[in-house]
Structure 1
Amino acid sequence: MDQHPPALRGSRFFAVTAIAIALLVVASFPVTYFMPLATGAHFTLLRHLHGLAFFGWIGLYVAQTLLVRAGRIRQHRGWGQTGIWLAGAMLPLGLWQAVTSAGERQTKGVALPFEFTLYNLVDICVFTVAFGWGIVAATQRIEWHRRLMFIAVLNLFGPAFSRVLLHLPLPYPWLDMTPNLAADALLVALAVHDRRPLGRVHAVTVGAMALLIPLHAVEPLIARSAAWTSIAPRLFGF
């Protein structure tokens, strides 16, 4: 085991929430992926690669938080390189899948084929900024790094968890905003956690709450607006 001061090891919060997020993500896909796959349903190679990359990143995030919790910082940093390569694959796969799904909905005659593409675009952008900033902060600002990576994984959790929550009998726009607001609830939990080791809510936590919670609340309104319906096809090359 690497010998590092307790401050580098972090609290149990990030490891526990990582495991909870991973379990909820896995539990979100039986109906839409695992069960159809087991019964012989056909999925495109893109969908398989997309799922493999995103499941892989969440699994790696869990492993990384456990390594830090155990004080194995050298191994954590070594596996960080894998996370960078994996994130690099996730970005084109995520955009490609978003555009492909929009095209499929358009072919089927769905009234608003680009509605969910806005959510995809926002999630990919937030993940990219949080992950990239977290990598930059990894050596000099450990507490920033932890929270930025937490924000990155939350932006994978919300879309995944929507597979469960979208079956709830909630009217628009509450149904549409609920998955990401469920992820944002973990930001509130992070704010409560921050006060114990830091004596205050960390600046990254405050900034993420101030930006993401209002954004996720208005996303459904933007996604069905005339402006987005007009811009989206040109933006994605349709």
Structure 2
Amino acid sequence: MATRIEGMAVGVREHRLFTGMALLIAMTVIGGFGSFALRGMVDVAAVPWWVHVHGVTLIGWTLLFLAQTLLVAGGRVHGHRQLGWAAVGLACFMVPWGVATSILAVEMGRVPPFFTPGIFLLLGPLDMLTFALLAGAGVALRRRGDWHKRLMLCGTIALIEPAFGRLLPMPLLGAWAGACATLMQLFYIGIAACADRRANGVMHGAYGWAAAAMVVRLALVELLGRSAWAMGTAAALMAG
């Protein structure tokens, strides 16, 4: 009986953890994009339609992830599984669309001044790849609940770099702008990992894999983005 009660208490703490992280991510994404628009940092009417679609899919995934955590916390596991396949469909659309958005942005010269064209060309695609790897692993391990929910959480964190790009003072950070956004993502993973350890007494391996993926992504962006190939490809795209 004591073991069962202890297991139920751990389950409650885990539900609070994942629901809290989902809410934090939703506030970060909506707050980032919303505050950016409210501060007049972007002319919404002048933004190409394909950028709007990219933004809507990102917000849509964030809200879908929140809905999924609330379903599990409410004991509606069947609904969670059904909605999960809708999430898979959205991810299959979102990843190639995000890659295409980055390429089109470089082609049209829509590169933020704190990024070089070569780095910006690789940033979006590698963000999408990191998300796809973590979320894809989460789907593949859906029968192992402990790995599934943590990988899906970390995959979602991997997706929200653009939100941090709108919350942080990126122009003031210069060449460190991308690294600072990644540090914020690692900070969110750290929050989840520490809270998880308090709930379960151990650090789950999923967080280590996710953090390593983030670091590798940052290294690839910084190294390849400054390569002659990336700079040449970006220049060719911008030249039309």
TM-score, normalized by length of structure 1? 0.82
Local SS of the residue matching 2:173: coil
Local SS of the residue matching 1:114: helix
Q: Of the two structures, which has the highest relative contact order with CA contacts closer than 8 Å and spacing of 6 or more?
A: 2
Q: Alpha carbons of 1:83 and 1:211: their partners in 2 closer, same or farther (altered >3 Å)?
A: closer
Q: Which residue pairs with 2:194 in the alignment?
A: 192
1:179 corresponds, among 162, 178, 181, to: 181
Which amino acid in 2 is paired with 1:131? A
1:159 corresponds, among 147, 157, 162, to: 162
Q: Percent identity?
A: 29
- In structure 1, runs of 5+ residues without a counterpart are none
Q: Deviations over 1:75-124 (max 9, x none)?
A: 111111110111111022111111100101289x9994232121111111
Local SS of the residue matching 1:105: coil
Deviates more, 1:58-67 or 1:195-204: 195-204
For residues 126 and 38 of structure 1, the distance between their equivalents in structure 2, rounded to whole angstroms, comes to 27
Which amino acid in 2 is paired with 1:204? A
For residues 71 and 155 of structure 1, the distance between their equivalents in structure 2, rounded to whole angstroms, comes to 27
Kept in 2: contact 1:15–1:69 (CA 8 A): yes
Deviation at 1:233, TM superposition (A): 6.8
Q: Which residue pairs with 2:209 in the alignment?
A: 207
Q: Which residue pairs with 2:50 in the alignment?
A: 46
For residues 155 and 40 of structure 1, the distance between their equivalents in structure 2, rounded to whole angstroms, comes to 25
For residues 15 and 134 of structure 2, the distance between their equivalents in structure 1, rounded to whole angstroms, comes to 20
2:66 corresponds, among 40, 62, 81, to: 62
Deviates more, 1:120-129 or 1:226-235: 226-235
Number of residue-to-residue matches in the alignment: 230
For residues 191 and 45 of structure 2, the distance between their equivalents in structure 1, rounded to whole angstroms, comes to 39
Q: Which residue pairs with 1:113 in the alignment?
A: 117
- In structure 2, runs of 5+ residues without a counterpart are 1-6
Q: Alpha carbons of 1:115 and 1:147: their partners in 2 closer, same or farther (altered >3 Å)?
A: same
Q: Which residue pairs with 2:3 in the alignment?
A: none
TM-score, normalized by length of structure 2? 0.82
Q: Alpha carbons of 1:37 and 1:192: their partners in 2 closer, same or farther (altered >3 Å)?
A: closer
Q: Which residue pairs with 1:25 in the alignment?
A: 29
Q: Which residue pairs with 1:142 in the alignment?
A: 145
Local SS of the residue matching 2:55: helix
Higher normalized helix content (fraction of residues): 2
Deviates more, 1:73-82 or 1:27-36: 27-36
Kept in 2: contact 1:106–1:113 (CA 8 A): no
